[in-house]
């Protein structure tokens, strides 16, 4: 493993461990109550539908089948809360790759090393990807374990497929934050662009199914390629995942080019 990747991962280790523990605690809390929902499905279904008004219900994925294992796993793990948490984790790591050290004044020393700027960005991005992957693997193992204990009834392959999409979605937004940071050198701009696009993309994808005026925007939302294939129920949407991978590759290339042409005070 390249030296810069190892060093960046050491810098990230506390954040990665903290996010893995925090998301795991959330998953443990909510997945542990599924047996009680399974034992009284009609009450749980009506309670969920009555608790959220129509628009909010759309944002939560509809909640039409929350009493089933597939519906509960989709609503609680893969629809909103865990994607938000892992996406925030990825964007914070992406911001720390270039923008944060540039604002702190420590990046100037790094770029004086005998390493091409494009390679520097690529290795920092690799550390971001590995950090997000570590959190994804830990949480996947927990979902598989708790799903088995709770007899959630979703095939292991479908859970792995959904978690792969979750990782690719978070990696996209982490890469976006890194790219904006590489182009601007600003943590605030990096987080604002990434967070704004994530929020808009989620709203467009969930509400666009029922609002014709914004339905065409679903195609530019990363959440469309994460949610539309319903991997929890149907398995691997390979085409959608390839779109997320391709978009991430374009962002990495853009970051390398943008940073190579910028003056960072050296």
Q: Two tokens at 25?
A: 């605690």
In a domain? residue 37: no
pLDDT at 111: 66
Among candidate residues 98, 159, 156, 154, the one with its CA nearest the CA of residue 123: 98
- Give the structural domain span for 80: 3-27+74-260
pLDDT at 122: 93
Question: CA geometry: angle at 252 spanning 251 and 257, to 5°?
Answer: 95
The Cα–Cα gap between 89 and 62 comes to 26
In a domain? residue 234: yes
Structural domain total, the chain:
1
In a domain? residue 34: no
Each residue of 191-250: pLDDT tens digit?
Answer: 999 999 999 999 888 887 777 788 888 899 999 999 988 899 898 999 999 999 999 999
Query: What predicted TM-score, i.e. pTM, was given to this entire model?
Result: 0.90
In a domain? residue 49: no
Instruction: For residue 40, report the phi and psi dihedrals to the nearest 5 degrees.
Output: -140, 65
pLDDT at 45: 54
pLDDT at 71: 82
Cβ proximity of 25 and 32 under 8 Å: no
């Amino acid at each position: 493993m390249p030296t810069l990747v190892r060093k960046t991962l050491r810098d990230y280790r506390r954040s990665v461990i903290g996010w893995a523990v925090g998301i795991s605690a959330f998953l443990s809390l909510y997945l542990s109550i599924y047996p009680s929902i399974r034992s009284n499905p009609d009450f749980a279904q009506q309670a969920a539908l009555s608790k959220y008004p129509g628009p909010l219900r759309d944002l939560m994925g509809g909640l039409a089948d929350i009493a089933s294992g597939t519906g509960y796993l989709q609503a609680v793990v893969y629809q909103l809360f865990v994607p938000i948490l892992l996406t925030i984790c990825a964007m914070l790591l992406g911001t720390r790759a270039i923008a944060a050290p540039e604002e702190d004044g420590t990046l100037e020393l790094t770029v004086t090393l005998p390493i091409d700027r494009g390679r520097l960005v690529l290795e920092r991005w690799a550390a971001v990807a590995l950090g997000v992957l570590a959190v994804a693997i830990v949480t996947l193992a927990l979902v598989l374990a708790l799903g088995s204990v709770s007899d959630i009834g979703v095939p292991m392959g479908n859970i792995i497929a959904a978690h792969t999409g979750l990782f690719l979605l978070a990696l996209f937004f982490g890469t976006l934050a890194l790219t904006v940071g590489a182009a601007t050198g600003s943590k605030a701009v990096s987080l604002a662009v990434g967070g704004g696009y994530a929020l808009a993309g989620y709203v467009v994808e969930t509400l666009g199914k029922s609002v014709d005026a914004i339905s065409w925007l679903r195609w530019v939302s990363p959440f469309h390629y994460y949610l539309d294939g319903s991997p929890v129920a149907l398995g691997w949407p390979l085409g959608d995942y390839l779109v997320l991978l391709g978009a991430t590759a374009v962002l990495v290339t853009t970051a390398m080019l943008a940073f190579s042409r910028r003056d960072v005070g050296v």
